[in-house]
Amino acid sequence: MRTTPLPPAKRIGRRGLFFCGAIDLTRVPRFKRGMTATLEKLEATIASRRGGDSSASYVASLFLRGLPKIAQKLGEEATETVIAAMMGDRAAVKAEAADLLFHLLILLAAADVPLADVMAELERREGTSGLAEKAARPQ
């Protein structure tokens, strides 16, 4: 019999699902799906390629060239994503956004910042006005 009260339920998602915090299914591997799981798999693949044969792995070749080259590639992909959006080309936006996320994960690995830390920061900001969050940042 449970003696500890459950935390208040909160609405999540567009379908009005409620979660009280008693069970976090995202922490149960067979329930972990969607974008976060995909990004986590990609993060693991990137980590496994780090230090690999740069002639056989694009990721290894970027790591070999260092953070400046990785940052340059991320900037290029961001620019290509913006151009595709401005052209109204949905297919190109989708492809370029995938490239952007891929290169962001490489940059995060090179900077020794786990994806989980970024996700925790996004969660911390959830429910906060973007304007309020920005104003609260140190100058």
> What average pLDDT does the segment 42-65 reach?
96
Q: What is the pLDDT of residue 24?
A: 54
d(CA 30, CA 68): 38
Q: Is the pLDDT at 16 greater than 60, yes or no?
A: no
The DSSP string of 112-128 is T--HHHHHHHHHHHTTS
Q: What is the pLDDT of residue 106?
A: 98
Q: Which domains does the chain have, with CATH numbers?
A: 34-128 (1.10.287.1080)
Q: Is the pLDDT at 29 greater than 90, yes or no?
A: no
Q: What is the pLDDT of residue 27?
A: 56
Q: What is the pLDDT of residue 33?
A: 57
